[in-house]
Structure 1
Amino acid sequence: MPLKHRFRTDAALGLVQVSPPLIYALVMLAAPLGTIVLFSFWTQDFLTIDRSFTLNNYREAVTDPLYSELLFRSLRIAGAVTAATVLLAFPIAYFVSFQVRPARKSLWLFLITIPFWTSYLIRVFLWRVILAYDGPVNGTLISLGIIDEPLSWILYNANAVVITLAHAFAPFAILPIFVSLEKIDRSLLEAARDLGESRTATFFRVTLPLAMPGVLAAILIVFIPTIGDYVTPRLVGGSGGTMIANMIQTQFMRLNNAPMGATLAVIAMLSVTLISLVLVLATRRWTRSR
């Protein structure tokens, strides 16, 4: 086939159409990631980069207990944020999908997206005020007689990071779950009820398995960026809420050790990738067994 005729086929036209975003993705995503990986195998002495291949950065990252503790703490906090966010988001998405009239669903979705109207940084500062030692939470609990003195464990620790991030990522979890619930054929639920299943059994045997793609999407959407967040831990986490991203930022910006920061970033990315793959495979296996 002549070359000019090959470009007239549907496959060729599709390739031409997808090439610009593909090139853009390679330049803006793949190239920076590749640079980070290369940096992880180099060393730095103040402003001088030694490009000799070495694994010393990875040895130090694995053997130093500080880095290991920060990574495991980040995974624990990200897991807690994901669990809290998804568990709170599912009932809201379920209510909007099954209980709200179709004419009002758009209004509810509009209300869910209202937090996006304000800056993420402003929302973090607001939670810092709300959870403060003399903030409204402690003030309300004291005025109601529930506590005698302000709670000290709700700010500048991992608990504050979980609360703040769970609120920040709530809309990201609600929307994919809602979309997944909307795709469920209601006749399947009616058939299950006609066959004698209770509402609870119908939910766990029909609704939840069919909604798992949205639940899995919500888990990944929340879990992946949470590990890389360093603004929230810095503002409300204190020393007990410091995460691996804070150490990466410190290595790059304060210690002038970009290779070590790149090494920690690569290890964090690999950890997130492995956990995400395990979640995807486990979810698929659980869904197929239903």
Structure 2
Amino acid sequence: MRHFYRNIPAVLVLGIPFVWVVLFMLIPYGVIATYSFWEKKYPVFIPAFQWGNYQMLLADPQYIKVLLRTAKISILVSIASFLIAYPFAYYLVYRCRSARVRTWLYMAVVAPLWISYLLRAYVWKTILGTEGVLNSFLIWTGLVDTPSPIFLYNQFSMVVTLTYIFIPFMVMPIYTALEKIPKNLIEASADLGLGPWRTLMKVTLPMSLPGVVAGFTLTFCLSFGDFVAPFLVGGPDGNLIANVITTQFGSALNWPLGSALSIVMLIVVLTIISLSDRFERRGTAGGH
């Protein structure tokens, strides 16, 4: 009995997360996977084990096109986030001398995560709109005479909006990776005559690659599954895989096909995460 009571804290610590994962992850995924093999015969879905839904995804070029468009947007968002996040994180770690300024700048990146996602997306809809801040600035400077609609409802606006929304997930792992690099290695590089640029390319960047890969993984996966920002700022060419899934479960009432799309999307995300984890393990083993 005494042994039983002693194990209660361990059971609570491990049991509650396990029950949560089973109830809200494994069971829903199992239901979605089951639906993906069913048949739709309006107005009902018939249980059946068949590959018709997956064959439809491969046979219909519109689904392949949407999947490739989603991957392209996610890659562009990841690249744009990296190009902004890495110099910023590098400055915080190596160039910013004031601890207070460093803290404030870091919090300026993280703080938007505490704000509503919809509000952050609507901000860019306001900025890029025909009556938004950007068009007003261009008219004020005399570069254009009338508001231009080219900044909104296209893939450019989607990349800008998603980059702004998900860039904290690129900054944080890169900042952490840069902080872990021993400062004496940077000093040794300078002592050997390497300038700042060569030190960055030969020492800092290679040693911070685990953080870069983690940032790319987070940013890509989050962008790949997003459906709100494309709906708000994407326009006719902004339909991504998550939006198609929403349509299948909503107005199209084709849950089996929507479930098949969800499974394909899950496989893509899990593949990216597995490749990222393998790269990180290989980098850690190589470092040791």
Aligned residue for 1:176? Answer: 173
Specify the alignment match of 1:207 in structure 2.
204
1:127 match: 124
TM-score by length of 1: 0.89
Higher mean alpha-carbon deviation, 129-138 vs 217-226, is at: 129-138
Q: For the structure 1 residues 234 and 117, does the alpha-carbon distance in structure 2 shift closer, same or farther, using more than 3 Å as the test?
A: same
- Equivalent position of 2:49 in the other structure: 53
Distance in structure 2 (CA, Å) of the matches to 1:96 and 1:47: 58
One-letter code aligned to 1:146: L
Alignment of 1:1-290 (within 5 A): 17-100=13-96, 101-279=98-276, 281=278, 288=286
The offset of 1:243, in angstroms, is: 0.4
Residue 36 of structure 2 contacts residue 259 of structure 2 at CA under 8 Å; is this kept in 1? yes
DSSP 3-state at the match of 2:40: strand
Kindly provide the CA deviation profile for residues 180-233 of structure 1, in whole angstroms up to 9, marking residues without a partner as x.
111111011111111222211111111112211111111111110111111111
Q: 1:259, 1:214 → 2: CA distance? A: 38
CA displacement at 1:14 relative to structure 2 = 5.8
Indicate conservation of the 8 Å contact 2:217/2:272, yes or no.
Answer: no
Partner amino acid for 2:94?
Answer: F
TM-score normalised to structure 2 length: 0.89
Q: CA offset at residue 284 of structure 1?
A: 6.6
The C-alpha deviation readout for 1:151-191, integer Å capped at 9, x for no partner, is 33321111111110000111121111111111111011111
Question: How far apart, in 2, do the equivalents of 1:113 and 1:276 lie?
Answer: 23
Q: Determine if contact 2:57/2:64 at 8 Å carries over to the other structure.
A: yes
- CA shift, 1:282, in A, is 5.7
Q: Report the AA paired with residue 255 of structure 1.
A: A
C-alpha root-mean-square deviation of aligned residues, in Å?
2.5
CA contact (8 A) 2:210 2:283 kept: no
CA distance in 2, matches of 1:47, 1:123: 39
Inter-partner Cα distance in structure 2 for 1:201 and 1:192: 9
Q: Secondary structure at the match of 1:44?
A: strand
**Matches of 1:151 and 1:283 in 2, distance apart?**
45
- Work out whether residues 214 and 276 of structure 2, in 8 Å CA contact, stay in contact via their aligned partners in 1: no
Q: Match of 1:153, SS? A: helix
Query: Kindly tell me: are residues 129 and 13 of structure 1, through their superposed partners in 2, closer, same or farther at Cα, counting changes over 3 Å?
Result: closer
Partner secondary structure for residue 53 of structure 1: coil
State the distance in 1 between where 2:12 and 2:164 align. Answer: 42
SS at match of 2:45: strand
Counterpart amino acid of 1:224? C
- 1:264-289, CA deviations, whole angstroms, 9 ceiling, x for partnerless residues? 11112222333444455567768959
